[in-house]
Amino acid sequence: MTGIDRNTDALWIQLSITGDFKVVLESDENTTPLSITMEDEKIFMSSRLLGEWDNSGRRIFPAALPAYLVEIEIQFLDFQFLITIGDWKETWQYRTSPEHITSMTVSGYAHVHKSEQTFLEEEEVFEMDDKGLPEDDSSSMDEADEQEDEDS
């Protein structure tokens, strides 16, 4: 097991679902416990969703937890939130009618390994496709590569 240290191996992530159910992932320095907010009602999810709290108030994660995939699934009329990080999953369900939901926010810490590879740059915001994966930006990268080839 390993603990969260915001200065070395932690990244705050926030997943927001608005009325049109657009999902965004962004970094933040906030330290609010994991929660879902529906209008004025705040429902705190299981502390196991992204690890356990230890006695010093830190999140505890499985030692080999990779932070490469964070995914939310919405199934009407049952809303099922599936958080998948590597092989480790947790689900949370809430039954309601979709027209009663105007906004939802799911937020919490994701573990980041101490390495050169980063999961998310600070302040970077990007959209995710319907499978919960970042949208492919390879076309713009290919154009940049072609431009470099022409220059050389």
Contact in structure between 14 and 106 (CB atoms under 8 Å): yes
CA dist 86 and 24 (Å) reads 19
Shortest CA distance to 28 belongs to which of 50, 56, 6, 54? 6
Averaging pLDDT over each range in 16-20, 70-74, 120-124, 145-149, which range is the top one? 145-149
The pTM (predicted TM-score) of the whole model is: 0.21
CA dist 40 and 38 (Å) reads 6
81: confidence class by pLDDT, cuts 50, 70, 90: very low
Shortest CA distance to 81 belongs to which of 120, 38, 113, 30? 38
Q: In this predicted model, what pLDDT tens digit does every residue of 9-37 receive, in sequence order?
A: 333 333 333 332 333 333 344 433 333 33
Q: Please provide the distance, in angstroms rounded to a whole number, between the alpha carbons at the two ends of the chain.
A: 49
